[in-house]
């Protein structure tokens, strides 16, 4: 076990270094051979390490992915590592191709991938917390609503991310298509830095609350969160489904002292259809048995409830998850 722990630590550092890097405002997808120990060039020892595909290192996916990896190793005796990715779309791709064993994704990406070959290969383990769409600008920009965004430079998230999908859908619903705004495909960290140095005017963050980069930015300079009107949420749901009206509570971020109306979307934890039922059951059981540990890592985990194996998305729950939730309901 000590050798395994040492190997896992080394692998974890390697995965971060081999993870996504920004090039020309976009992120590169790491080589599949580096992404997952189950690629064809592997040792027997490598096969003992399982991978959770997460997201940007500054986002909630990554911090919770690390915590879940540590929890599974601690209680289930299996070595896990968290991999940095471009988030939802890339995670779906990695898990469906068995280049990662688990992955986080927002449920709105599935309506975009209804005909994709990856969908039949995926299974849901559990619902997670909600991502809140947080549209951030600096107070001195004078931007306070969507009408002020026309002609502005906007960070919409990296390519193949749920942030980019939600941002482009919301902008389109408000009539702000490509010819009316200048889009920049940036990670959370890059967006926060670009707001600081004035190279963009506003940025979308699809994340649990609070987002660490927004919190850091708000502690350094006054920010404004742009509300998403109710009619935009209704339009999104009519066209795509899976979105909810929600409010970013007061005082989540320094200087933002009133609730901000916005839209939210649920996250799920995915695996592939061939993941063993017994192990899938154990993973879900461990997650809920030790959920308070996750909730200490990030406040977003307070939103994880997981009462049943049922969601209105084109992906079925894994048989192991169904068994867990059935027992929970009948207990």
Q: What is the pLDDT of residues 241-271, one digit of tens each?
A: 999 999 999 999 999 999 999 999 999 999 9
More confident residue, 13 or 210: 210
- Smallest Cα–Cα separation from 81: which of 147, 27, 24, 10? 10
- Res 11 pLDDT > 80: no
Check pLDDT > 70 for residue 36: no
Q: What region does 277 belong to: left with phi over 0, alpha with psi -120 to 50, or beta?
A: alpha
Using DSSP bridges, classify how beta strands 244-248 and 153-155 pair: parallel, antiparallel or unpaired.
Answer: unpaired
Q: Kindly state the tokens that stand for 262.
A: 């916005």
**pLDDT in the model for residue 112:** 86
How far apart CA 147 and CA 64 sit, in angstroms, is: 35
- The count of residues in the chain is 331
What is the pLDDT, as a whole number, of residue 200? 98
pLDDT value, residue 113: 84
CB 78 within 8 A of CB 72: yes
pLDDT at 308: 87
Tokens 């003992």 locate to 48
Band of pLDDT at residue 45, cut at 50, 70 and 90? very low
* pLDDT tens sequence across 159-187: 889 999 999 999 999 999 889 999 999 99
Give me the domains of the chain, ranges plus CATH numbers.
Answer: 2-130+267-330 (3.40.190.10), 131-265 (3.40.190.10)
Residue 24 has what pLDDT? 38
pLDDT for 199-215, tens place per residue? 999 999 999 999 999 99
Q: The tokens 């980069």 sit on which residue?
A: 213
Nearest to 133 by CA among 240, 303, 248, 269: 248
Burial class (CB in 10 A: 0-12, 13-18, 19+), 210: buried
* pLDDT at 35 (0 to 100): 36
Query: Average pLDDT over the chain, rounded to whole?
Result: 87
pLDDT value at 41 more than 80: no
- Residue range 15-35: mean pLDDT, rounded: 38
90 pLDDT higher than 50: yes
Task: Compute the distance between CA of residue 124 and CA of residue 127 in angstroms, rounded to an integer.
Answer: 8
* Bridge partners for 244 per DSSP: 264
pLDDT of residue 117: 84
Task: Reply yes or no: is the peptide bond before residue 237 cis, omega within 30 of 0.
Answer: no
Q: Which of 72, 92, 93, 91 is nearest to 81 (CA)?
A: 72
**Share of residues in the chain with pLDDT > 90 (%):** 74
**Is residue 318 scored above 80 in pLDDT?**
yes
């Amino acid at each position: 076990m000590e050798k395994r722990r040492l190997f896992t630590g080394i692998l974890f550092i390697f995965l971060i270094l081999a993870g996504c890097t920004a090039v020309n405002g976009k992120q590169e997808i790491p080589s599949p051979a580096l992404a997952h120990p189950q690629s064809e060039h592997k040792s027997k020892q490598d096969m003992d390490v399982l991978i959770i595909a997460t997201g940007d290192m500054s986002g909630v996916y990554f911090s919770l992915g690390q915590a879940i990896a540590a929890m599974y190793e601690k209680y289930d005796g299996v070595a896990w590592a968290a991999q940095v990715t471009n988030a939802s779309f890339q995670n779906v791709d990695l898990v469906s191709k068995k280049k990662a064993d688990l992955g986080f994704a927002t449920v709105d990406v599935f309506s975009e991938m209804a005909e994709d070959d990856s969908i039949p290969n995926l299974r849901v383990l559990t619902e997670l917390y909600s991502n809140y769409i947080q549209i951030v600008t600096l107070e001195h920009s004078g931007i306070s609503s969507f009408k002020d965004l026309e002609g502005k430079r906007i960070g919409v998230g990296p390519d193949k991310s749920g942030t980019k999908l939600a941002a482009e859908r919301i902008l389109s619903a408000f009539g702000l298509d490509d010819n009316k705004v200048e889009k920049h495909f940036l990670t959370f960290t890059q967006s926060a830095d670009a707001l600081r140095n004035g190279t963009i005017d506003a940025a979308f963050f699809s994340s649990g609350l609070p987002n660490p980069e927004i919190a850091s930015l708000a502690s350094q300079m006054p920010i404004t969160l742009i509300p998403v009107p109710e009619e935009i949420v209704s339009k999104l749901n009519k066209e795509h489904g899976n979105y909810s009206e929600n409010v970013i509570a007061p005082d989540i971020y320094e200087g933002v002292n009133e609730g901000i109306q916005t839209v939210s979307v649920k996250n799920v934890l995915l695996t592939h259809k061939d993941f063993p039922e017994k192990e899938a059951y154990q993973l879900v059981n461990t997650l809920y048995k030790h959920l308070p540990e996750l909730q200490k890592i990030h406040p977003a985990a307070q939103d994880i409830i997981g009462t049943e194996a049922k969601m209105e998305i084109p992906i079925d729950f894994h048989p192991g998850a169904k068994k867990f939730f059935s027992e929970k309901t009948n207990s």
